[in-house]
Amino acid sequence: MKDSIIPIILCGGTGTRLWPLSRASYPKQYWPLNDNGEESLLQKTQLRLIGLPCLAAPLIVCNEEHRFIVAEQMRQIGIKPMGILLEPTGKNTAPAITLAALYIQTIIREEDPLLLILAADHVIHDDELFRQTVQASIATAKEGRLVSFGVVPTAPETGFGYIEAAGTLTSTSSKRNFADPLSVVCFVEKPNRKTAKAFLRTGRFSWNSGIFLFRTSIILNELRSFAPIILKHCRNSLIKSSIDLDFIRIDEKAFEECPSVAIDVAVMEKTEIGSILPLEAGWSDVGSWSALWEISEQDINGNFIHGRVIQDDVRNCYLRSEHRLVVGLGIEDLVVVETDDAVLIARHDRAQNIKKIVNQLKREESLEGKAHRRIYRPWGYYDGIVNGDRWQVKKIQVKPGATLSLQMHHHRSEHWIIVKGTALVTKNGKEELIGENQSVYIPLGCQHRLSNPGRISVELIEVQSGSYLGEDDIIRFEDQYGRS
């Protein structure tokens, strides 16, 4: 349908500034962050769109490593995406948007729909006003303009890019009515504080939210004019793509040739058909723990509390426990975040520097720098509890109806103890049902598989022993999730 709105949700960020919660294996967009609810930032990005006219199913662009997380989170909220495009490597927003537009034009073949570009890791507090703002921009986008949504600034922030409008941005938050979008004069990279203050005094500048609305054909025409190299390599990588279950796997070799560029730099800074509409719906890019604290619901002492926390005489703190008890006594202006394998303690004014620590962990090749103790898989997850020189213990949860791959190991044996549910275990071609309080031994070299035929999750304790316990000691013979 020509006037349909297709959400393009970009999930490529790694969210390192929210370490230790956000990590490369499970970034911030997949966590419920800005309240104590259960919906992730990705899920809220999709759910806040419900009510927009002519809304189509979303097209999601994500890292290959996160494909099953994305599919599962969409399933949880009852959404079947139009497609999930898998980037073999992150190349910034211009290639991601180009892939999405080409996919819709050449594969889906919708009649030139509107594309609503959204980041999966942003917070918006007023969903209704956000929808109204998007609706107010539809007519302009239909006319062939590239519409940007500029966040009306509340402070001279130096961490955001800015957009200059051709006139003064009219406030919309109180009146709920909207003037026509203004023409864009220019996009400006992150300014220093003096320049940012000068921007605010003019009334013409807004923060660049990274949210856009435009027709498919229009953005492709502008890419053809200003970023033909990106368009060429994205087209080649899509032509050579393959279908893998519910995913579109972009060709790695062709995509590697594509330059890494933001859509702002590739197109928006150069186009003459840019328009801007002010956005005052409580937007945040959740760029640091301090930023998250500022937008989170606080108690009378300015504290945000999550999880098992006891506090006394604490003010203006962000206290988050994911597992263990956290106790705060007589502290102020701190961020304290506890996870299964790391604890962060930082002053609010130093929380932005967490990237230095993450880079140090990467240089040291520390596991804490890239993954949690709990690792998610398409069939469930496993949690590394404790390990020694030649042994380790894991807790494993397998979802109802899920099946692990048929596999074997060259260097380790495994002992499974079922603590919840009923598992169907295959050993060298023979099947056996194993119930609660029962166990099974998998010797080295044995072809084996575990399935959950029941209606509740299977939980088991796995004890591994052997000369090498790495996850790459897995030889897969069959796998319903398409893993080699």
In this predicted structure, the answer to whether residue 440 has a pLDDT above a threshold of 60 is yes
In this predicted structure, the answer to whether residue 176 has a pLDDT above a threshold of 60 is no
Query: Residue 484 — pLDDT band, cuts 50, 70, 90?
Result: low
Q: Do 235 and 317 belong to one domain?
A: no
**Is 362 domain-assigned?**
no
CATH of residue 28: 3.90.550.10
**Is 457 domain-assigned?**
yes
Q: Do 237 and 305 belong to one domain?
A: no
**Is 483 domain-assigned?**
no
**Is 383 domain-assigned?**
yes
Task: Give the angle subtended at the CA of 108 by the CAs of 102 and 111, to the nearest 5°.
Answer: 85
Question: What is the reported pTM?
Answer: 0.89
In this predicted structure, the answer to whether residue 169 has a pLDDT above a threshold of 90 is no
Neighbour tally for 116: CB within 10 Å: 25
**Is 394 domain-assigned?**
yes
CATH of residue 437: 2.60.120.10
Q: Do 150 and 211 belong to one domain?
A: yes
Between 36-45, 176-185, 271-280, the lowest mean confidence (pLDDT) is in 176-185
Among 229, 255, 284, identify where a domain stops.
284
pLDDT of residue 483: 66
Between 178-187, 345-354, 390-399, 432-441, the lowest mean confidence (pLDDT) is in 178-187
Among 259, 284, 309, identify where a domain stops.
284
Q: Do 94 and 216 belong to one domain?
A: yes
Summary mean pLDDT of the chain? 90
The number of domains in the chain is: 3
Chain center to CA of 94: 17
**Is 368 domain-assigned?**
no
pLDDT digits (tens, 9 = 90+) for 228-241: 999 999 999 999 99
Q: Do 280 and 335 belong to one domain?
A: no
pLDDT of residue 38: 81
Q: Residues near 468 by Cβ (< 8 Å), separated by ≥ 6? A: 410, 411, 412
Q: Do 197 and 328 belong to one domain?
A: no
Q: Do 179 and 314 belong to one domain?
A: no
Q: Do 347 and 396 belong to one domain?
A: no
Q: Do 32 and 169 belong to one domain?
A: yes
pLDDT of residue 98: 96
Q: Do 194 and 249 belong to one domain?
A: yes
**Is 364 domain-assigned?**
no
Domain containing residue 142:
5-284
pLDDT digits (tens, 9 = 90+) for 11-59: 988 788 899 999 888 899 999 886 656 899 999 999 999 999 999 999 9
How many angstroms separate the CA atoms of 283 and 272, rounded?
A: 26
pLDDT of residue 2: 66
- Give start and end residues of each alpha helix (H) in 210-299: 216-226, 228-239, 252-256, 263, 289-295
In this predicted structure, the answer to whether residue 259 has a pLDDT above a threshold of 80 is yes
Decide: helix, strand or coil at residue 58.
coil
Query: Which residue matches tokens 């800074």?
Result: 269
**Is 26 domain-assigned?**
yes
Q: What percent of the chain has pLDDT above 90?
A: 65
Q: Do 181 and 163 belong to one domain?
A: yes
Q: Do 21 and 145 belong to one domain?
A: yes
pLDDT digits (tens, 9 = 90+) for 322-362: 999 999 999 999 999 999 889 999 999 888 889 899 999 98
Among 252, 284, 316, identify where a domain stops.
284
- Give start and end residues of each alpha helix (H) in 157-264: 193-202, 216-226, 228-239, 252-256, 263
